[in-house]
Structure 1
Amino acid sequence: MTEDVRQSVLDSLRILDSDPEPFFDALTRAACAMAGMPIALISLVDGERQWFKSQVGLDGMRQTPRDISFCTWAIDSDAVFEIEDTTRDPRFSDNPLVVGAPNVRHYVGVPIQAGAGSRVGTLCLLSPEPGRLRPNEREALRGLAEAAARGMEQRAMLLTRMEEAVSLHARLQRSQAFLEQTNTAAKVGGWELSLATGELAWTRETHVLHGVQEGDAPSLRHALAFYLDEHARQLEEAMDACAATGSPIDLTLKTRPKDNREAWLHIVGRRTTDAAGTRLIGAIQDVTAQRAALEALAQSEARYRRLFQHSMGLICTHTLEGVVTSLNPAASLSLRRPEAEVIGHSLAAIIPLEKRSQLQDYLARIIENQSDSGVMELVAEDGSRRFWMYHNVLDNEADPPYVLGHAQDVTTQHLQEIQLQELAIRDPLTRCFNRRYLGELAHDQLSAWGCLVFDLDHFKEVNDQLGHAEGDAVLIAFVEFLSARLQPGEVVVRLGGDEFLVFVPGANLERLQALEASYAEHASQAPIRFSAGCAISRAAETVADTINRADLKLYERRRRERPGP
């Protein structure tokens, strides 16, 4: 991939020179804790510089020239790029970052691949001491780099939607949803223990891993109680040793059974001292699946990577016949349905009855095109409708093949768009269409259309004598009177004030005259006296001109039939 294409993908992320964000800072902190190295960067290679979206250990530094950066080398590799001792590598031994502050000796970088695989930067670790990562640390660093890439992509997507949002409140809500979904997708939690106060802090994902409500703040004793006795002692001893000597924590521990399910959690940590005091900080990850499925590790790992690569937060899989085979907690929560209620059942069971005919079309597209994207309407357990914006792909490598589904819940946005569209074309009082919608109706007509215009006689006197509430009631009742005699396709439009119009598509004079006669015949049922006039559109005539001709007939009839005031 050319440098121009790579730079274009980086620019499309719209992340350069942005403010620090908790999600990316959490990734760099977790990377430091995982590897026990003091410096971590999310570095983006931009033109003649490398710019840091997040950094730990460089005292606020945000960028360096590209010609001295290690990351320029790292983005040329698909694998983990590691220099165990820079002073022994002729490419870097005279680098200013090696011979001067921060005196880098050990460097590890994993490319951050966004878009169609463009390496826009790296998640990297640096240390003033030579060293070498262990295989499991390399694997964890790859996962954090993937989380950074997905976070950048979803951040860019969110920025686009935020620009279209109708209020700051809605933008903040989607931003929060994005961060929560990304943390869940990364499946990496964080923890921090103050050695001075004994206060323990957990990130949202750490609460999830332990099955604790996010608002709860467990004590260290409470936290240790989540693990089997032997494993709790190992964790407590490791934390004591880390606090006393600084030895890193790296344990895989078994939790107590909950809901007949046992879990294995990988916990890493280190001691750190700064202005806030001395603390133990670390990361935690659920590794139950890896331990429980060693025989299928290769296939499981590939499936996890594909899920992670395409994930938009809500994840499920289904057969080519549409039977759901798995569902992640976020998708279950969106549907307000337990996983067991969905898994093993057809998608048709959660699709609205009037939409089920579209299911076979969707499955056919998946088989033919290997993927499909769009918005799917589903039914939650409480009967409410949920709208998922999805991108689903067919996995032909599996036996049997299955469909991997990734989606984002856009119900709020969808309902807001419908509400805005409704407000744009309907009169808020009478709920009939407004003048703007009349223009759309007329524009869509391939042939002549007709209209009847109505003006309420002495309506001002109703408002003046009885009040505006009574006047509003008259307007609403008059719309009901007009609507009662319309055929399909014919609609009532409020032109403004006490002026109304009945739009008749493809009308001929006979239909208009019949409709006008019907209104005249039943005029006694109207809430107020009215005057009417009709017209049929002419070629190259504007909507306003057609209405004006109908108005002239209305005024002419009023003068003829009611010469008095």
Structure 2
Amino acid sequence: MAGPYQMKAAPKRKNEEASLAALNALRVLDSEPEPEFDAIVRTAAEICGAPISLISLIDRDRQWFKANVGLPGTAETPREFAFCDHAVLGSDLFEVPDAMQDSRFADNPLVVGSPDIRFYAGAPVLLNDGICVGTLCVMDRKPRRLSEKQRETLRCLSRTVAHALQGRYAIRETLRLVSRLSEQHELLRVTLQSVADGIVTTDAEGNVSLLNPVAERLTGWSTSEAQGRGLSEVLCVIADASVVASQSGSYDLLVSRGGRRYGIEKSVTPILKEDGSVLGEVCVFRDVTEQRRSYAQIAYRATHDMLTGLANRSEFDTQLGRALHTTRTTRVRHALMYIDLDQFKRLNDACGHAAGDRLLKQFARLLTATVRGGDTVSRLGGDEFAVILVDCALDDARRLAQEICDHMEDFRFAHGELKFRVGASIGVVRIDDHWRSEAVLLQAADAACFAAKEAGRNRVHLWGETDLAVQAREEGLRWAMQIEQALDENRFQLFAQRIVPLNRPANAVHAEVLLRMVARDGALVPPGAFLPAAERYNLSSRIDRWVLLRTLHWLRSASNQARIDMLSVNLSGHSVGDPAFHVWACGKLDEAGSALCSKLCLEITETSGVSNLVQAAAFIVALRSRGVRVALDDFGSGTASFGFLKKLSVDFLKIDGQFVREMLTDALNEAAVRCFVDVAKVVGMKTIAEFVESPAVMSQLKRMGVDYAQGFLVHQPEPIDGLLDDFPNAVARAPTQSVHELRTCS
């Protein structure tokens, strides 16, 4: 916890008494659960990926839950502890990314004790007159944020809650009105003409006596035609067979006289005299066809991939859990295929995202047509797919997988006049009772898929416990788990290595920020051990965010900023090509201010800059407009032409160490360095030579006109907190130090 807090209850709403009156008028407090509200909280939890979702209504001294997912057995809590009591103060979504870091909630009993809330987002439930009676909210036990799409969906669902509450109230009000006017037939007839719901009344024998205009329209019967007929003949109601089995409650369909079907909600109430004798019945019903269609669309979106129409990752996880459960309770065995399209990124980059989407949809159709009807076909994300083969032997699964590869062997994706060959690497795993969890099973399938790709692409690989390729994949997965744990537990440490000018004194510190992982035993893990796994498992952008935030914090808290010229921070290829990272980074730089930005340089590698040229160029323009300098790292290691330097307006060119280290003994390397220096001067860039490890190399670089040097000769990397110690004396001593024994420490 960031500091001592004392929880304060939210202030009362400005229209507190009016809000309480509106809530009481709805007559919903302490009512029984109802299917439509339960469906809304399940949908909110699914779309937002949250374990807890509630419809919370704010009473005078409590919050009461009309619907509840994730807090079984809990119907209400004191109002003073309610996050929702804060949410109802505004008219838009209220979000708490980390309750432990928010002074309003850090010592809230619901945060420090069960249910351990860390994240909250609530959208106010506003009635037609603008009065707020509660919220639709989602909660999690770990810090996080909703995406913009999730926020908008939560807002839409909160409006659905408001409509449902008011519709529920309208039906009950109609019933009350009909009961009171049951013996005043003429007044009843006039009143029923204006009611928006369908109303049918019967006599004591159950024969129809009256239909209002809405009921006539929906049933297809006029009052004169329906009078004297049985209620079930006029109001033909059947169960809605389209409702999925997982939904609670029953849903009715009204079949009109002409065969048209309407989704309805209905209620039948006896009409009683004062002495309790029955005069007849009144059936009130309303057309909820569009409402159910909206619910169905929301449910579909929660379980399906919108691009391909296949099951999405969430639905796949659910079905995989069911399949694994059946193997433990029955003798049925299943199989899992994990599929990755070969060369998809190359096609996507060459032809654009629209073409990539077209390919994904074509492959989805091919996949669905190849497997069996009862199998679950899913798109997990990007170009990765999975198929759960129910009650399928491993040999049959391998045959189906090979059939997919055979189809892809003949398949050509057409884009204009171009045709592309696209393959599918498939890993196949038996689903049986020896897998301890869905996650381990999926990792094995992913590993087998990777082995298929490593073996030559467009082929099938069966999971085998002794596969060397699979074991290597598992090693990568272990590193990925360690990286995630280190990020969550803040077990990384910033190091730095100085960069010195070759043609003038070093008046201030110029250094590159480096990274070490701190193992649980305190040992430092070099980046070469974990960064390959970070790149493979899309964790590099998370690391980049961590490093950039800590570097800005260190700059901000440095005791003598005047002694700092510039700190360089490396960015991965994922971050360079990710527009979302660009937006986030620019936001953090704007918060830091121009003074700190002027002391920052972001390094992108030559290969990442070229492979994401359009995104990289736009990002560089945004960085330089904020005063941040940019370096092109490892120049010469890729396949870029010098023409790309015109398109990437950077400040520094860092010459790859493979050319620098042996330039005195390799004439070609020396020529390459001279060429890089000449080109950099032409385009107005400064040059930095990496891997400078001997005084002779440094002297030659100086004669060649290189501007800066970096390497063990200049400075052995050290924790960043010691970077300013003994400056500039340490820089003056550096060229005389021996560095050969330090090469393996980088």
User: Into which bin does the TM-score normalised by the smaller protein fall?
Assistant: 0.3 to 0.5
- Indicate the structure whose relative CO is greater, using CA pairs within 8 Å and at least 6 residues apart: 1
TM-score normalised by structure 2 residue count: 0.32
TM-score of the two chains, using structure 1 as the length reference: 0.41
